Structure 1
Amino acid sequence: MEDLGFLNRSYWLGFFRILLLCPLLVSCNTLYITYSTADWIVLWKLDRYFALSSTQEHYLDIQVKAFHVWHRHDQLPQYAQFLGEIDQSSKHELSQAALENIVASVERFRVHLAKRVAPPGAKFLATVTPAQIRHFEEVLDQDYRRLVSEIGDEPKERVDKRMEATAETLTSWVGELSEDQETYIRERMKAIPDTADVWLAYRRSRQEQLLELLRSSHDPFILEQGLY
């Protein structure tokens, strides 16, 4: 079968094993606190990106809280079931077809979320001013340059930085990691091919597309179609 890049076994097995490891290391209380404040975090990020007006902030506060309630009750149970199925499947050799099905399932989750977010998101974006678009572009550029610096240039440097960032995050959640835990995480990261350049290019391209969309239209319908 043709090599499908991101769909190779080592990439996804490494990714999903790290994904499944995190809930085992993080206390339920910490996860609950983080998720329960997700609506506040989203609003904070939106304000950072767009310097929201009071009217925009009020509208988004209502929309984000409603989305958070829906996501908690409708989506989380589906995610739990999905990850449980991956956990069982990953105990055996996964075929390319099985990995493609997993990736397709993730994409279905993404599309479902996009369809839920796009209508109220487009209504908000239709109110964004030229000054806010310029502010958004400046913040995106700052974030991009920071990411490039954090990722590093050489493959070994990138693995080391990913390991450092992951260990720092997990340590803030559960305390110091044991040597065995650090070794396990490092080995899993080494198994994941370095796709940083591809990811950065894709991220930059999507940001440019969004900026062009914001500059070209204030029609909620057109904006909604561009958010999928």
Structure 2
Amino acid sequence: MRSHRPTVLLLISALCCVVLVATGCSMPTLAYRNAPTLISWRAGSYFDLDPAQRAEFEQRLERVHAWHRREELPRVIATLREARRRTDGEVSLADAKWLVGAVEDHYRKAAARTVDESADLIPTLRPEQFATLERKLADVDEEFVEEWIDASPEEIRDARIERATKRAEEWLGRLDPAQRTWLRSRLDEIPIDYRAARADRLRRQAEFLALLRGDATATRTRMDSTAVVAPLKRWVVDWDHGRSPGELARVARLIRDYSALYVELINGATQEQRDHLRGQVDAYIDALSKQMP
């Protein structure tokens, strides 16, 4: 899990990830078409789902996918087109704020629908599957600590620069030496408290595990399904719930600072780079338009 939500250039990536349901595939048409299978496979790696559970979950995801193609995909494509239009001129922080809101809105709708469709599968999870999930989350946390907390300041700085440069070049094409130097300098002006980010993530993971176990028990005792699903849905769609005022301020500041960085980067891009950016967005629009029902 990332330490902060993506912004500006990254938001276009994030929007595509929402569309592809975070499959990690670089081929939008293939990934979107096969999203239910890919997601059920990923969930299976976290829970060690048995064949029957995986098949049932994939069937539920097929229904979510059909709904998304019918109801949400036209809106996603409209958002991409509007993002494309906004890159024709000077990009502003208001544009970045709009894109943040659009990405979050698309994510929340898809996530909520997925919870509605699949929450009643929670009672089929067995104790050993919860244990598998805990081990997987612990492994992810260990990797995070190794990369972003235990590493030296120089290693962390280099990793941040490498990641930011890679993301920028995915959309703008290759940065020239002056742009790379500028990006390094700007990143140094945006501190990230990785310990605070980890603490927030661990808190949310603990809430998630408690909700899953509680939902499983409650469902088995035939509690009102609405009461069971509502807390889980809130956890999925409301990232800020339960955050302290200090943590809310930290996250908001990080989003604002990264937004400003990427707005400056886009506005300082060469014509060739801006054409590359628009071409990338056009490619996603074209690929996803072919998936319309």
Question: Does the pair score TM above 0.5?
Answer: yes
**SS of alignment partner, residue 52 of structure 1:** coil
1:180 aligns with 2:175: yes
Is the 1:18–1:185 Cα contact (8 Å) retained in structure 2? no
Pick from 33, 50, 70 the counterpart of residue 36 of structure 1: 33
State how 1:46-125 maps to structure 2 within 5 Å: 46-90=43-87, 91-95=89-93, 99-125=96-122
Match of 1:201 in 2: 199
Q: Name the CA distance, whole Å, in 2 between partners of 1:73 and 1:194.
A: 42
Pick from 156, 159, 162 the counterpart of residue 158 of structure 1: 156
Pick from 123, 127, 140 the counterpart of residue 126 of structure 1: 123
Is the 1:49–1:136 Cα contact (8 Å) retained in structure 2? yes
Structure 1 residue runs of 5 or longer lacking an equivalent are 1-5, 23-28
**SS of alignment partner, residue 217 of structure 1:** helix
CA deviation after TM superposition for structure 1 residue 60, in Å: 0.6
Deviation digits for residues 43-79 of structure 1, max 9, x if unmatched?
1111111111333122112112222233234323322
Match of 1:224 in 2: 229
Is the 1:50–1:135 Cα contact (8 Å) retained in structure 2? yes
CA deviation after TM superposition for structure 1 residue 15, in Å: 3.4
Is the 2:122–2:215 Cα contact (8 Å) retained in structure 1? no
**SS of alignment partner, residue 125 of structure 2:** coil
CA deviation after TM superposition for structure 1 residue 109, in Å: 1.9
AA of the residue aligned to 1:55: A
Mark the CA change 1:100 to 1:169 in structure 2 (over 3 Å): closer, same or farther.
closer
Q: Name the CA distance, whole Å, in 2 between partners of 1:182 and 1:18.
A: 24
**SS of alignment partner, residue 27 of structure 2:** helix
Q: Name the CA distance, whole Å, in 2 between partners of 1:43 and 1:182.
A: 42
RMSD across aligned positions (CA): 4.0
Is the 1:167–1:182 Cα contact (8 Å) retained in structure 2? no
Deviation digits for residues 20-56 of structure 1, max 9, x if unmatched?
9x9xxxxxx9332233332222111111111113331
